Structure 1
Amino acid sequence: MDASLPPNISLRSVKTGREGRGLCCDSLNESGSYRSDHEDGLGEPLSPIAQMFHEPGTDVYILGVVGVKAKIDPDVVKEKLAEVLLKLPRFSSSQVLDPKSGKWNWTPTEVNLDDHIVIPELKLDNMESPDKIVEDYIADLTTTGVPDSRPLWDLHLLNIKTSESEGVMIFRVHHSIGDGVSIMSLMLASSRKISDPQMLPTVPVVKRSSSVKLGLWHQVKLVWNTIIDLILFLATVLFLKDTETPLKAGPNIGYKRRVLVKGYMSLDDVKLVKKAVDATINDIVLGISVAGLSRYLNRRYGNERKSERGPIMEKNHLPKHIRLRTQLWVNIRPVPGIQELMEMVDKCKNPTASTWGNNIGYAVLPLAIQLREDPLDYIRQAKASVDRKKASLEAPCVYFFAKLISKLFGTKVAGLVNFNIFTNCTLWFSNVPGTSDRITYCGYEVSYYAPTCFGQPNGLMINVVSYVDKLIFVISAAEETIPDPHQMWDDIEVSLKLIKDAALASTKTH
């Protein structure tokens, strides 16, 4: 892992140690470090899934950006982090490779928060906007990781006024520490409602699909779909590749510079579409994304054929039969909601295998890239694709086989399987529930939060998260593959408008 840092960042030397007392009674010692209660030695090994996130091509970080409505006081942030973050063992342990077993182990470590909280000196150039400076800073962070000699997380505090916030917090957490649901739960457990500062934020209750509880025919269909999906999964591991479109990155894209672009959609607009088409919000989010990607790809192909007369977007420049697939990430915990995780973190309960960690699988989902006459067809097609995946056990099977392959053949083989899947597909897609409440984080009112990942061998990731009355779309795009991610968001936004107008017209005709 490249542990270099972006310009203008200076970190003090690391203070580590394997002595400490009291996991849930961590306290600030005289040196200003926090210690946790673990025995000497390497400690417990990482789970097989966490081990895989150290393999080449799957060495992935979760990156979260939080805009706040006031200047940030580092001492306040440090105090708030100590109340929750450092009481979780994974954030107060280094990951050390055991040369004998070849496995990574959690190693108790004395944590000095000054080593993890970075306060860069940002110089505002007259030619650059504050938003562009923050965007470039985040892009630089995606080319590096946290030094292996300390727990694999850090927090960057940017006191710069942008168009949306007075300050920006950027959190990097290695994916071996936890998945997106865990990290979102950690953030929300560290937050409080503005309307009631003593209360945790509320999050929507997610219900599991009831397909496995239905009749014999549905059981047969579930088994059949799962078999077909696993055959296609194996084919993708071995040879089945996506079409080489302008969205398809090369295999060595991992720690190359990625630009993060975010945009907003009104939940009222999404609900309007939901009323016109019998679909879930997740179906609509995916359908709008596919519509935007179709529009964006048509533009890219059209730009390659500039000699043709007429405006680019008035013609269909898309090749026929594009194969373009995404990893659709799925939370496979027995209880799908994040309420239990939030309460566990807030009360400093010991995490269990079924709550904290990497309890996620993924399904390989084909995206129908084409220009459609009826914009609502994007939503209908997305719903059909997602419903088909709901009637399959592909995601939990992928999780199970990843663990099994790790145990039987080692994490290098399991990591290679994942690497082949990632590189043979085009993008990652994730939708994590947020909160409908306005919240404070570390004592500061939140303007927005934007989660994503970097390090994966894909040129594009789209994350969608809800906050108050909006959906926040987060596009993470590798610069050398997608040089104009702002245009991609514009195309997604235009697609929403077209779909919304079609929904309004459909509602009026009924």
Structure 2
Amino acid sequence: MSPKRIPMAAVDRSWLRMDTPSNPMMISTVLVFDKPIAINRLRHLLNERFLRFQRFRQRVVDEGNKVYWQDDPLFDIDNHLHRIALPGKAGKAELQALTSDLNSTSLDLRHPLWQIHYIDNYDGGCALLIRIHHCIADGISLVRVLLSLTDKTPEPHKQTTFPSRPRQQSKSSTISKFLHRVLDTTEAATHQARLFIQSVREEPNYPLKLISTASDVAADLLKLGLSPFEPKTCLKSPLSGRKQVAWAEPLDLAEVKACAKALGGTINDALLCAATGALHRHFKASKEVIPDCGIRVAVPFNLRPLNQPIETLGNQFGLVLACLPVEIEDPVMCFRQVQENMTRLKQSYQAQVTYSLLDLFGRGPDILERRALDLLSNKASAVLTNVPGPKEPVYLAGSKLIQPMFWVPQSGNIGIGMSIFSYAGTVQFGITVDKAIHADPNAVMGYFRESFEAMSHAALAGRHENIKRQAS
């Protein structure tokens, strides 16, 4: 008897189809620990906590018009867990080179789509290099999965599974759900009609709100389709498929908070401004003409309910095109513009629109998705992700996690991915760049810190001046 097949969700199928030789659709993570982990203990931990998620035992069965998840009858953890050592000095440069090489290599579709490399004797401890295909889950979900492998103390405690709280659906989520599921199956459409009738009974002016929301969604869809292509810069060129990764030394989260507070904005605004300043410095260093209308980056926007059970994997996010004002040199003016741009995006339905498009593309022919992907990828120069991590240090098999980095995949002809991750009072910043793009990832990491320090100095100096002015 053949193993049971489970149809792959349309949105996840879209991410599977995006996989190309030049842009493998993998989320990649490097976790650095303070001391070595016994490989047998790691294998036991993976069997106990990681493989309880059935998806990591399942392979993809692609029959063209239909795609399924199916239990791998020959599953063996040794096909996925590899123990290696770095060459030479076995330092940061060697780890970045290994990560670059593996991130340029696609996962094997004959097996479940994940790999873990255990790296011996790195910086007095060890490191894990984890690659998981995007069709399995999005970044937020995978962070939750990886955190489920860890403990709050060096000695593991028995994990308790808490029942998920019943999800209470707000009127706004009902509207969003009605809109982006309207192209679903007849059964789903009937369910949406039932929700609509129920909402009308509960709130007499609900149809008017729905019409207004539909109008806003249509406007955002039109804006997305009519937005111009990205300007031709050194950040856009035909891709080679060979990746280069780098990461910066972590920032102090308290300093980032103080900077954001002094400027009257959010931590996210401050970090996006630092990334903008880093790209501004890159343009100047490479003597490239800086676009006078900025550049756009695709930013994932989480649509996953916070109380959703961790076992619910898959992709539940939309993309918004955020404009980074790289033409503005003054850090405070740059911050104000970033803040304004992000406020405008938060008030739009662009994330819901792109999620619905991915859902639609996953149901249609492959050529439709390819053409739409080419169209959308011409409207962004990079992908930028900001994912929150745990506020306190965590331990895996008794070893303390001291630095986590991750890299998001890019799609179409986008060759740059930037990732921001907060962990235990620090902010980690990483980048991946296609080798065909003339940008030194380590130099950009240096520019990121320089940009943040300039912004922080200007913010605190401005606050000091305000205090003096108020005192006088």
State the partner residue of 2:48: 83
Contact 2:27 2:133 in 1 (8 A): yes
Distance apart, 1:66 and its partner CA: 0.3
Structure 1 CA distance, aligned partners of 2:377 and 2:461?
40
State the partner residue of 1:48: 10
Match of 1:119 among 62, 72, 83: 83
Structure 1 CA distance, aligned partners of 2:155 and 2:333?
42
Structure 1 CA distance, aligned partners of 2:277 and 2:34?
33
State the partner residue of 2:359: 403
User: Relative to 1, partners in 2 of residues 1:200 and 1:181: Cα closer, same or farther, differing over 3 Å?
Assistant: farther
1:106 is the counterpart of 2:69: yes
Amino acid at match of 2:267: I
Structure 1 CA distance, aligned partners of 2:85 and 2:367?
40
Contact 2:24 2:104 in 1 (8 A): no
Q: Encode CA deviations 1:271-319: one digit per residue, 9 max, x unaligned.
A: 11122122111111111111121121121126xxxxxxxxxxxxxxx44
State the partner residue of 2:230: 242
User: Relative to 1, partners in 2 of residues 1:151 and 1:195: Cα closer, same or farther, differing over 3 Å?
Assistant: closer
State the partner residue of 1:24: none
State the partner residue of 1:421: 376
Q: Encode CA deviations 1:455-492: one digit per residue, 9 max, x unaligned.
A: 63322111111111111111112222144111111111
User: Relative to 1, partners in 2 of residues 1:62 and 1:442: Cα closer, same or farther, differing over 3 Å?
Assistant: farther
Q: Encode CA deviations 1:364-421: one digit per residue, 9 max, x unaligned.
A: 1121111333x212221111111000111110121112212433x3344234313431
1:467 is the counterpart of 2:423: yes
State the partner residue of 1:167: 126
Distance apart, 1:499 and its partner CA: 0.8
State the partner residue of 1:190: 149
Structure 2 CA distance, aligned partners of 1:503 and 1:199?
46
Amino acid at match of 1:62: I
Contact 1:249 1:426 in 2 (8 A): no
Distance apart, 1:222 and its partner CA: 7.0
Contact 1:51 1:411 in 2 (8 A): no
Contact 2:117 2:130 in 1 (8 A): yes
Contact 1:69 1:446 in 2 (8 A): yes
User: Relative to 1, partners in 2 of residues 1:389 and 1:424: Cα closer, same or farther, differing over 3 Å?
Assistant: closer
Distance apart, 1:102 and its partner CA: 3.0
Structure 2 CA distance, aligned partners of 1:499 and 1:470?
17
Name the SS for the 1:191 alignment partner.
coil
State the partner residue of 2:385: 430
Structure 1 CA distance, aligned partners of 2:79 and 2:362?
33
| Structure 2, unaligned runs of 5 or more | 161-169, 174-204, 467-472
TM (normalized to structure 2)? Answer: 0.82
Structure 1 CA distance, aligned partners of 2:320 and 2:397?
35
Structure 2 CA distance, aligned partners of 1:190 and 1:121?
23
Structure 2 CA distance, aligned partners of 1:319 and 1:123?
39
TM (normalized to structure 1)? Answer: 0.76
State the partner residue of 1:307: none
Structure 2 CA distance, aligned partners of 1:199 and 1:505?
50
Structure 2 CA distance, aligned partners of 1:183 and 1:66?
14
Match of 2:33 among 68, 77, 81: 68
State the partner residue of 1:332: 303
Name the SS for the 1:50 alignment partner.
helix
Amino acid at match of 1:71: P
Q: Encode CA deviations 1:160-189: one digit per residue, 9 max, x unaligned.
A: 333xx5211000101111110111000111
Q: Encode CA deviations 1:214-247: one digit per residue, 9 max, x unaligned.
A: x99x9999777644432232135xxx31111112
Superposition pairs of residues 211-226 of structure 1, within 5 angstroms: 226=217
Amino acid at match of 1:328: V
User: Relative to 1, partners in 2 of residues 1:222 and 1:288: Cα closer, same or farther, differing over 3 Å?
Assistant: farther
Structure 2 CA distance, aligned partners of 1:105 and 1:55?
13
Q: Encode CA deviations 1:81-124: one digit per residue, 9 max, x unaligned.
A: 011111111100011112xx532211111421111111124332
Amino acid at match of 2:383: W
Name the SS for the 1:44 alignment partner.
strand
Q: Encode CA deviations 1:327-362: one digit per residue, 9 max, x unaligned.
A: 1101112x2x3x644xx3xxxxxx4xxx42111110
Identical columns (%): 20
1:391 is the counterpart of 2:355: no
User: Relative to 1, partners in 2 of residues 1:416 and 1:262: Cα closer, same or farther, differing over 3 Å?
Assistant: farther
Name the SS for the 1:70 alignment partner.
coil
Name the SS for the 2:287 alignment partner.
helix
| Structure 1, unaligned runs of 5 or more | 1-38, 202-209, 303-317, 345-350
Superposition pairs of residues 88-487 of structure 1, within 5 angstroms: 88-98=53-63, 102-109=65-72, 110-124=74-88, 128=89, 130-162=91-123, 166-194=125-153, 197-198=156-157, 226-235=217-226, 240-250=228-238, 252-253=239-240, 255-301=241-287, 318-333=289-304, 335=305, 337=306, 340-341=308-309, 344=310, 351=311, 355-373=312-330, 375-407=331-363, 409-454=364-409, 456=411, 457-487=413-443
Structure 2 CA distance, aligned partners of 1:418 and 1:476?
20
Distance apart, 1:47 and its partner CA: 1.1
User: Relative to 1, partners in 2 of residues 1:222 and 1:382: Cα closer, same or farther, differing over 3 Å?
Assistant: farther
Name the SS for the 2:277 alignment partner.
helix
Structure 1 CA distance, aligned partners of 2:128 and 2:333?
39
Structure 2 CA distance, aligned partners of 1:367 and 1:60?
24
User: Relative to 1, partners in 2 of residues 1:406 and 1:130: Cα closer, same or farther, differing over 3 Å?
Assistant: closer
Amino acid at match of 2:6: E
User: Relative to 1, partners in 2 of residues 1:433 and 1:320: Cα closer, same or farther, differing over 3 Å?
Assistant: closer
Name the SS for the 2:121 alignment partner.
coil
Number of residue-to-residue matches in the alignment: 420
Contact 2:296 2:382 in 1 (8 A): yes
State the partner residue of 1:12: none
